[in-house]
Amino acid sequence: MSIGVQAFQGARLNEARRARGMYKKVLGDLIGVSGTAISRYEDGLDKPQHEKLCAIASHLGFSYEFFLKPTWNEKIGLVFWRSRNAETKTARDMTEQRMRWLCEIFAFLEDEVTFPVYTPPETTSVEDPRQITPEIVECAAEQVREQWRLGNHPIPDVALALENAGIPVVNLEIPSDKQDGFCFYSRHLKRSFVGINIYDVSCARARYDCAHELGHMVLHSQVTPQQERDPLLHKLIEQQAHRFAGALLFPRKSFFEEVRSPSLDYFASLKKRWGLSISAMIFRAYNLGLIDDQDRSVLYRNLTRRGWRGALREPFDDRTVMPLERPRMFKRGVEALLSEGYYTRSGLLECLSLPEQEVEQITGVESGFFRSGELVQLAVPKNSRAFRSFDLESGEIIEFSRRFKS
């Protein structure tokens, strides 16, 4: 009787299977075992033979080595989902698994390079979300703008603003209109992370989703999982994050100064400069009391009548006109490592052991990055160099200093 591959990690099989949204019985049928056998593999009660593990890796699209590497040993805590009931558990499992890999990749990079210090905004903390008033939300957004020195002007790049505060942002292609984004805090890494679903969304929508997730971090840091699961509280929490997003992207002082005539055409003229959708500006005008319920309903009906409601239907939603913002932190961490010559692209991918497409998506590098030709350095610097990047849009300099282990 074969004892199987001794280095096999059952938890890795669970990760890979969940990430692919595949049931145990389906995988078992593909490799010629029962669903119960897959359960025993995942629970560590049995270990697959070499041939079975090769088949598992092939059908799931992972390297053989992935299943021999220990997992990221941290359970993801509270995750804020836009809608708790609309999405299936399987779909959420697929996304939550990528959150764990996000932490895993960040930890690998952070062991080698220095990222910006995590400096989350400091605002008045409220334990019970029912005590958070609209005025508290507006003031919280204004405090964030003041602490991040954003003034009352349009934010050139929302993702960059978060990353300069040490909050990593990732763009994910999730083929679902029920997952707009997520944020969570890693106790092990002592950082919050933000993920944005860019599948079939405009630049304005992605910016709004990024600000929305920041709103959860700022307003709801003390919310418990039990509170978040309460349907009424969940709805209230989401409404507060929506208001925060509008307040951060278009502060009330500037909104009152600029919006003289709340109309679709006027909002369209402001969209490119402020990076906020027409729909969101209608909502903002209503929140600030510039229009009433009837005015809001009329504007939304006219929005529908013009064919401007829905994914990528508003003016300027074309990504060639308003390009999506691209997070930089993960990508520049990868570039910093490669610039020193201690890793080749393929070697770096091998160290991570994750599928190429997953690493590309999380780190934000272009497709095929790890397979492209590379110059092999036959000599490397004795002393580390700082990797500095000047952002043309904001003027901020992000510096990643190479750390060497003794």
What residue segments make up the domains of the chain, in order of their start? 10-68, 74-243+324-406
Distance CA 342, CA 178 (A): 41
pLDDT at 89 over 80: no
Distance CA 294, CA 218 (A): 32
State the pLDDT confidence band at 401, using cuts at 50, 70 and 90: very low
Q: Which of 250, 244, 234 is nearest to 213 (CA)?
A: 244
Share of the chain above pLDDT 90, in %: 73
Number of C-alpha atoms within 13 angstroms, CB side, residue 107? Answer: 17
Q: Which of 333, 368, 294, 389 is nearest to 106 (CA)?
A: 333
The structure tokens listed for 214 are: 């920041």
**At a CB cut-off of 8 Å and minimum separation 6, what does 192 contact?**
118, 120, 167, 183, 184, 185, 186, 217
| Element spanning 84, H or E | none
Q: 75-89, 215-229, 255-269: which has the minimum mean pLDDT?
A: 75-89
The answer to whether 260 and 270 are in contact (CB under 8 A) is no
State the pLDDT confidence band at 37, using cuts at 50, 70 and 90: very high
CATH number assigned to the domain with residue range 10-68, chosen from the 4 options 1.10.3720.10, 3.40.50.720, 1.10.260.40, 3.40.228.10: 1.10.260.40
Distance CA 350, CA 104 (A): 14
* Residue 87: per-residue pLDDT: 64
Distance CA 67, CA 56 (A): 9
Task: Give me the amino acid identity at 61.
Answer: G
Give per-residue burial for 293-304: e unless 16+ CB within 10 Å, then b: eeebeebbeebe
The structure tokens listed for 403 are: 């750390």
Residue 172 bridge partners (DSSP):
197
CA 207 to each of CA 143, 250, 384, 387: distance values in angstroms, whole numbers, following the listed order: 19, 12, 36, 27
State the pLDDT confidence band at 392, using cuts at 50, 70 and 90: very low
Distance CA 214, CA 210 (A): 6
| Element spanning 219, H or E | helix 203-219
Q: For the chain, how big is the Rg over CA atoms in Å?
A: 23
Distance CA 285, CA 293 (A): 11
Distance CA 108, CA 117 (A): 17
State the pLDDT confidence band at 374, using cuts at 50, 70 and 90: low
pLDDT, greater one: 22 or 75:
22
pTM of the shown model: 0.87
Tens-digit pLDDT profile for residues 282-319: 999 999 999 999 999 999 999 999 999 988 999 999 99
Q: Which of 12-21, 114-123, 247-256 has the highest mean pLDDT?
A: 247-256
Mean predicted confidence (pLDDT) in 342-365: 93
Q: How far is CA 175 from the centre of its chain?
A: 14
Distance CA 186, CA 212 (A): 19
DSSP state of 371: G
Tokens 């909002």 found at: 267
Beta-carbon neighbour count of residue 395 at 10 Å?
8
pLDDT at 92 over 50: yes
Beta-carbon neighbour count of residue 6 at 10 Å?
7
* Residue 82: per-residue pLDDT: 67
